[in-house]
Amino acid sequence: MRGSEPMPGYGQLLRRGYGSLAAAARGCADCGWELSRRTWAENAHLRWGEVLLCGLCALGWTVLRRAAARRVFRPFGEWCKLQPKDAAKMPESAWKLLFYTISWSYGCYLLFFTDYPFFYDPPSVFYDWKKGMDVPTDIAVAYLLQCSFYGHSIYATAYMDTWRKDSVVMLLHHVVALTLIAFSYAFRYHNVGILVLFLHDINDVQLEFTKLNVYFKHRGGVYHRLNDIISNIGCITFSVSWFWFRLYWFPLKVLYATCYSSLQSVPNIPFYFFFNALLLVLTLMNIYWFLYIVLFVAKVLMGQVHEVNDVREYDVEDSKKTTNGLVKDKRL
């Protein structure tokens, strides 16, 4: 029975993580395409039936979202007499809030109401790892939901969601997330995958809930103070939880386990550099968005922003309208 390891600090993460990556790089004399192809053939276990099922579920999410928007979310927005701009964006946030609330709640169930020790002992995600090992049904269900939803999200971001200044980065995020989910399932790194999903989904729940309150604070031609207060509180809690879950727990629990602990349990673990590179890209995107959050909070503290209008970067269409308006003013 192995005892759980205490969570490291940033310094220990950098020392051990960099040391493990550097040692693995020095010891990889034949790294390259041929080794990657051979490693995939020997260790990846992904059936075409599973790929087809995931694709069908992704299509199902798209159909379900269109139906929910047409029959539930848009009629509800009209009934609440939202402003036209808010009514157009409300179905997107309502849909995402619904999914991420379900997915994060299921992640909580797996990590805190079963026997899986991954949250409190992250290195345990690699204990007893074997290639081709069976994926527990409850984790496989989570993977099917998440993988298919991110497949749907790539299409939705490009063709269904409001296009924003950071939408290109969002598309990159979805591609990275989908690749991580699919490959971690194929290589049976599903234990660490559940931890990664749990640490990210909570922020999406808070983000979409806050945005909905932003949209609902002006409805029926009346200002609703309660929704304004909730959106302001939500902005603060979202900022704090983003740092705590994605920039504190994620690197110290996940990156430490994948960079350092993985090699302690499985010295020749397959696709070590590939997975850690994608996780580092994900970390960089988390830092990128956190800088926007800090900038927004700074503007609020300096009085440049008097109310929460949107907790994400402004819409491109709004930017174009503002620019066109300024041009017209100059001509006048």
* Unique residue bearing structure tokens 């590939």: 274
pLDDT higher at 148 or 294: 148
Rounded mean pLDDT of 29-53? Answer: 88
First to last CA, the chain: 78
Q: How far apart are CA 250 and CA 203, in angstroms?
A: 12
Of residues 95, 111, 104, 256, the one with CA closest to residue 161 = 95
Cβ atoms < 10 Å from Cβ of 320: 10
SS (H, E, C) 87-110: HHHHHHHHHHHHHHHHHHHHHHHH
CB of 151 within 8 A of CB of 178? yes
**Cα–Cα separations (whole angstroms), residue 287 to 247, 251, 274, 317:** 7, 11, 20, 25
Burial zone of 56 (CB within 10 Å; 0-12 exposed, 13-18 middle, 19+ buried): exposed
User: pLDDT over 70 for what percent of the chain?
Assistant: 89
pLDDT tens for each residue of 96-109: 999 999 999 999 99
Q: What's the pLDDT tens digit per position in 168-205?
A: 989 999 999 999 999 999 999 999 999 999 999 999 99
- Measured in residues, the chain has a length of 332
In this model, does residue 213 exceed pLDDT 80? yes
Give the pLDDT mean for 154-163.
92
CA proximity to 216, closest of 37, 79, 96 = 79
Q: Please give the pLDDT value at position 193.
A: 97
Write out the two tokens for 284.
């960089």
Q: Backbone phi, then psi, for 223, in 5-degree steps?
A: -85, 130
Tokens of 226: 């309660």
Q: How many CB atoms lie within 10 A of CB 34?
A: 9
Short-list 140, 183, 175, CA closest to 53: 140
| Cα–Cα distance list, 216 to 73, 179, 205 (Å) | 13, 36, 17
CB 149 within 8 A of CB 58: yes
